[in-house]
């Protein structure tokens, strides 16, 4: 998946090419960009509030916002999700051997920096 692949007529682009399709949205003032890490981390309440204000800009009462945040927080359970392997921030690093680190740095280093996951290409 990092490098992409071709299987007959099906082509799956590598991660960097895949993300480039969506990166322009991150600079669009009309888009709301969220990260998994923010939804499961200590900033969860703020991220939930951002979602509410984005989807429901006319909600003004703080009590209504807090009530919605409570419902959202109750439903954020990555440990119960089938789409997350572990639902833990940063555990992907435990799976990388030296070859995979090299390939990822080579092909995805700038992307990881652009996304804010790394500050330099000297990770791991």
What residue spans define the domains of the chain?
32-88
| pLDDT of amino acid 94 | 80
The pLDDT confidence band at residue 71, using thresholds 50, 70 and 90, is confident
| pLDDT of amino acid 25 | 86
> How far is residue 74's CA from residue 85's CA, in Å, rounded to a whole number?
20
The pLDDT confidence band at residue 23, using thresholds 50, 70 and 90, is confident
Span 37-55, pLDDT tens digits: 888 778 888 998 899 889 9
Q: What is the mean pLDDT of residues 99-122?
A: 88
Has residue 32 got a pLDDT over 90?
yes
Has residue 100 got a pLDDT over 70?
yes
Tell me the C-alpha to C-alpha distance, in Å, between residue 111 and each of 12, 25, 95, 108, 120. 17, 14, 19, 5, 11
Q: 15-23 vs 98-114: helix axis angle to the nearest 10?
A: 10
Both tokens of 88, joined, read 């833990």
Tell me the average pLDDT of the chain.
Answer: 84
Tell me the C-alpha to C-alpha distance, in Å, between residue 83 and each of 77, 96, 117. 11, 20, 20
Burial 32-49 (b: 16+ CB within 10 A, else e): eeeeeebbbeeeeeebbb
> How far is residue 52's CA from residue 57's CA, in Å, rounded to a whole number?
7
- Confirm whether pTM is higher than 0.85: no
């Amino acid at each position: 998946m990092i490098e992409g692949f071709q299987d007959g007529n099906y082509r799956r682009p590598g991660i960097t090419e895949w993300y480039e399709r969506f990166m322009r949205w991150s600079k669009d003032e009309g888009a709301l960009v969220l990260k998994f890490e923010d939804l499961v981390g200590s900033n969860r309440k703020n991220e939930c509030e951002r979602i509410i204000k984005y989807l429901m800009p006319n909600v003004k009462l703080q009590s209504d916002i807090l009530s919605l945040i409570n419902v959202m927080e109750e439903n954020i359970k990555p440990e119960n999700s089938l789409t997350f392997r572990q639902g833990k921030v940063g555990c992907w690093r435990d799976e990388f051997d030296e070859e995979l680190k090299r390939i990822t740095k080579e092909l995805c280093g700038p992307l990881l920096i652009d996304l804010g996951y790394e500050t330099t290409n000297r990770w791991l």
